[in-house]
Amino acid sequence: MADTAQAITEDEFRAEALAFLEANAKPKPEEKLVFGEGSDEVSVLPERTPEQDAREVKAAKVWAQQVFDAGFGWITGPTEYGGRGLPASYQRIYQSVESKFNTASQSPRMIGLGMIAPTILAHGTEPVKQAYLQKLWRGEIIACQLFSEPSNGSDLAGVQTRAILDGDEWILNGQKVWTSGAHYSDIGEIICRTDPDLPKHQGLSAFVVNMKAPGVEVRPLRQMTGGASFNEVFFTDVRVPADHLLGDVNSGWTVALTTLMNERAAIGGGGAAGGSGASNRLLDLMRHLGATTNPLIRQEYANLYINLQVARWNSERAMSKIRAGQLPGPELSIGKLSLTENMRRTAELAAHVLGPRITADSGEWGTYGWSQFVLGVPGMRVAGGTDEVMRNILAERVLGLPKEPSGKS
Ligand SMILES: Cc1cc2nc3c(=O)[nH]c(=O)nc-3n(C[C@H](O)[C@H](O)[C@H](O)COP(=O)(O)OP(=O)(O)OC[C@H]3O[C@@H](n4cnc5c(N)ncnc54)[C@H](O)[C@@H]3O)c2cc1C
């Protein structure tokens, strides 16, 4: 467990990972898409009952603890916080070996690990790093992102939730919204206004808040797909210890950028594959319905296929920059846009092919199941920075077009 990069070779590490997985998980059978067999669910945001959510969270935590205790839970993390201190190539080896096995979905932990843990590592105080990093990576706790508010989403610098210092505690009051997974999270990263007299980007601070603290109220929000994967969160006189500040007082904007950069890497970096699983299902559906001989539909599918391919190459470009230790910038915004555009193309073509079958559940396999996907796609155009905001970033930073008025006051 305490090996350093030099103490274990990649081959030894691969063998160790394989031995662990062979002993603790079942190999994944080769996935073969057979129309009419298995689940016909095609969705973007999972539709779960609270009981299903609780089961998924529990299974994710149990597997995370097994993986962590075997030394594969935080492969690249600093050893002083419970990581293994190995280079990213070892992480990729583990992922590649694990992908051949059936393991519990880790999606409830993704925001915490992909966005909040890196922010804590970069900006947290020593006690906060010691208190939360290992617990997050070991799956003992889950974290959420408390940024958006009812009147401040894209304009994050305008947040209104107030934090006021009272002795050695901050007191939080306000409301957040669209908080994914707040209902099963133990901690959250919250952006608050700490100085209303400073220009809006400069009067913000970031904190780690205990989601179980008195005064935190989580209310589910039902989305048009029927599920309730995100929430409103109300804060009434919630007390946060002073050492739970991330970064300096009034430097919350910088902290938020760290989180958002990681969010775009998580969404935009995977943009290539985004929708490709659904596009394979769509091809299968088209074949089943005899739609592949329709020249218009063939043309639409070819367009989708080409765009998926381009997105895959863009994602490769971003990933190779990350591997080389560089920060991908525009590639992530392009990746995020490609992801949502390809999902939109997939959804529109599915609706075109299915016609009225997509509007009512007749019990016919593989038809109405697509409605979840079609209704879930608009959310992806908004989550993690809207399409319009991504276009602004590309226009200003890549094409060098004039900046839009920033609204900084
Ligand atoms: C599935 C999903 C999960 C989410 N999870 C979380 C979460 O866990 N935590 C969290 O904090 N938030 C979360 N969000 C919220 C998300 O970050 C915001 O919805 C997003 O930032 C947009 O903010 P808004 O909804 O206030 O829309 P607004 O910012 O009000 O935008 C409304 C419209 O105006 C456009 N617009 C806004 N500003 C500009 C501009 N400068 N130029 C051009 N057009 C502009 C937008 O593109 C959009 O079309 C989630 C959202 C979704 C859909």
* Residue-wise pLDDT tens digits, 2-50: 445 458 999 999 999 999 999 999 999 887 778 888 888 888 877 788 8
294, 360: one domain:
yes
For residues 212 and 316, membership in a common domain is answered with no
Ligand 1 atom nearest to 182, measured from its CA: 8
Chain-centroid distance, C-alpha 340: 14
Signed CA dihedral, 235, 239, 240, 242: sign only: positive
Name the closest-CA residue to atom 23, ligand 1.
Answer: 153
- Output the CA 386–ligand 1 centroid distance in Å: 6
Q: How far apart, in Å, are the Cα atoms of 189 and each of 1, 143, 156, 182, 206?
A: 29, 8, 14, 11, 7
Same domain, 217 and 305: no
Decide: 153 in ligand 1 pocket, CB within 6 A: yes
Which of 148, 151, 192 best tests ligand 1's pocket when mutated (most atoms within 8 Å of CB)? 148
1 pLDDT above the threshold of 50:
no
Cβ neighbourhood burial of 404 (10 Å; 0-12, 13-18, 19+): exposed
Same domain, 162 and 243: yes
> In this predicted structure, what is the pLDDT of residue 406?
61
Q: In ligand 1, which atom is closest to the CA atom of 45? A: 1
Whether 276 and 220 map to the same domain: the answer is no
Ligand 1 mean position to 383 CA, how many Å?
6
Residues 290 and 377 in one domain: yes
- Residue 18, strand partner residues: none
Tokens 């080409």 correspond to: 306
In a domain, 330, yes or no: yes
Most confident of the ranges 139-148, 220-229, 371-380, 383-392: 139-148
Q: Which domain holds residue 380?
A: 269-398
Q: With respect to residue 323, please indicate whether it lies within any of the assigned structural domains.
A: yes
Q: Is residue 172 located within the same domain as residue 228?
A: yes
Q: Return the pLDDT at 271.
A: 47
| pLDDT band for position 226 (cuts 50, 70, 90) | confident
Q: Beta-carbon neighbour count of residue 303 at 10 Å?
A: 12
Give mean pLDDT, residues 283-292.
Answer: 93
**Do both 51 and 149 map to the same domain?**
no
Residue 276 confidence class, pLDDT cut points 50, 70, 90 = low
CA of 223 to the centre of ligand 1 (A): 15
Q: Among all residues, which ones are annotated catalytic?
A: 263
Q: Are 280 and 389 contained in the same domain?
A: yes
Atom number of ligand 1 nearest to Cα 180:
8
**Boundary residue ending a domain (89, 105, 121):** 105
Domain-embedded: residue 249: yes
**Residue 21 falls within a domain, yes or no?**
yes
Is the domain of 182 the same as that of 277? no
Ligand 1 pocket check for 230: Cβ under 6 Å: yes
Q: Measured from the CB, is residue 379 less than 6 Å from ligand 1?
A: yes
User: Do 246 and 175 belong to one domain?
Assistant: yes
* Whole-angstrom distance, CA of residue 93 vs CA of residue 88: 9
End position of a domain, from candidates 257, 282, 300: 257
Cβ(383) to ligand 1 under 6 A?
Answer: yes
114 part of a folded domain: no
Residue 409 within any structural domain of the chain: no
CATH classification at residue 279:
1.20.140.10
What are 110-164's pLDDT values in tens digits?
A: 999 999 999 999 999 999 999 999 999 999 999 999 999 999 999 999 999 999 9
Digit-coded pLDDT (tens) for 48-82: 888 999 999 999 999 999 999 999 999 999 999 99
Higher pLDDT, 227 or 220: 220
Question: Looking at residue 244, which CATH number applies to its domain?
Answer: 2.40.110.10
Prediction pTM value? 0.92
Pair (57, 84) in one structural domain = yes
Domains held by the chain: number: 3
Whether 396 is in the pocket of ligand 1, judged by its Cβ within 6 Å, is no
What confidence score (pLDDT) does residue 2 get? 44
Kindly report the protein residue whose alpha carbon is nearest to atom 18 of ligand 1: 153
* Whether the Cβ atoms of residue 64 and residue 134 lie closer than 8 Å to each other: no
* In a domain? residue 406: no
Boundary (domain end) residue, out of 206, 235, 257: 257
pLDDT above 70 covers a percentage of the chain that reads 95
Which residue has the least CA distance to atom 37 on ligand 1? 154
Query: Could you tell me if residue 132 is inside a domain?
Result: no
Max avg pLDDT among 13-27, 251-265, 305-319, 330-344: 13-27
85 lines ligand 1 (CB under 6 A): no
Backbone dihedral angles phi then psi of residue 317, each to the nearest 5 degrees: -60, -45
* Higher pLDDT, residue 58 or 379: 58
State the pLDDT at residue 6.
Answer: 54
